Amino acid sequence: MITALEEAKQAVIDRVGEADVALVLGSGLGAYADGLENATAIPYAQIPHMPSSGVSGHAGNLVAGTRAGKHVVAMQGRAHLYEGRSPGDVVFGVRLMASLGAKTLIVTNAAGGIASELEAGDLMAITDQLNLTGTSCLVGPNDDSLGPRFVDMTQAFDSSLVEVAAEVASGLGFELRRGVYAGLLGPTYETPAEVRMLRALGADAVGMSTVLEVIAARHMGLRVLGLSCISNLAAGIADGPLSHDDVKETANRVQSRFASLLAGILEAM
């Protein structure tokens, strides 16, 4: 892992420089990176060991630029376990951005709403997570140069960053919802029975990403802010069948609000 990270870092460092903030942009949310000042985009295919994403709505670029005086490195899309990727592949991009110097990770996703107060188009700050993928990126021998063997997840998501995000949203005229995100393997959407189970477990939203990235970030000592775009209501709550096209359509609809929220958070940090 260390050798692979170093090779990837050396391939991009001259073009992207060091990072202050790392950003993972989920389904339909990648356009935000195009608006960074002095943006430089590197396709994943040009970065050694960097896994690509074959999912529609994930452009597959590492983009570096500035915003609010901060050097931001962003992933336009991510690899997923359900594509047959290993947990190490899924978190490789986050580890790469951390190796570029990032101390804060803002991780985003499109998620299905479970909590009764959530509606499609809402933005939600993640306050905690349920890793229900059945695996972890920390399984196997630990490399102490990356982080400790046993990682404290008491505050997986930084509460002070959640407060910053909520204040920014209020200033923009909308309420930032808060809730627990459940990460499942996918690629099927959940059954109504599974959604009832998730609700009983305390989940407010559900998706197929994020949880392993957060574990990797905390392993390397990064502060984490998680933001979910509630792209649809989960099975048994929604009126009709679920589709990825609906996920992308909702994400596109809220892009402007999402971009304003991210810009405000970076300014306030």
3-state class of 211 per DSSP? helix
Give the list of residues 6+ apart from residue 85 with CB closer than 8 angstroms, or none: 51, 79
187 contacts 82 by C-beta, under 8 angstroms: yes
**Catalytic residue of the set 8, 22, 44, 58:** 58
Residue 23: phi and psi, rounded to 5, are -135, 125
Q: Of 64, 124, 165, 208, which residue is the catalytic one? A: 208
- Choosing from 6, 82, 86, 167, which is the catalytic residue? 82
Selecting among 6, 83, 167, 249, the annotated active-site residue is: 83
Tell me, yes or no, if 27 is annotated catalytic.
Answer: yes
232 is catalytic: yes
Q: Torsion angle, CA of 44/47/48/49, rounded to 10 degrees?
A: -30
For residue 87, is the peptide bond before it cis, meaning its omega torsion is within 30 degrees of 0? no
Is there a catalytic annotation at residue 80?
A: yes
Catalytic-labelled residue, pool 19, 27, 61, 115: 27
Choosing from 80, 203, 205, 213, the catalytic residue is 80
Out of 232, 234, 251, 269, the active site residue is 232
Residue 48 has φ and ψ, to the nearest 5°, of -55, 135
Q: Is 190 a catalytic residue?
A: no
Residue of 11, 197, 244, 268 marked active site? 244
Q: Which of 64, 75, 110, 251 is catalytic?
A: 110
Distance CA 137, CA 36 (A): 30
Check if 71 is active-site.
Answer: no
* 83 catalytic residue (yes or no): yes
209 is catalytic: yes
User: Has 49 been annotated as catalytic?
Assistant: no
Catalytically annotated residues:
27, 58, 80, 82-83, 110, 208-209, 232, 244
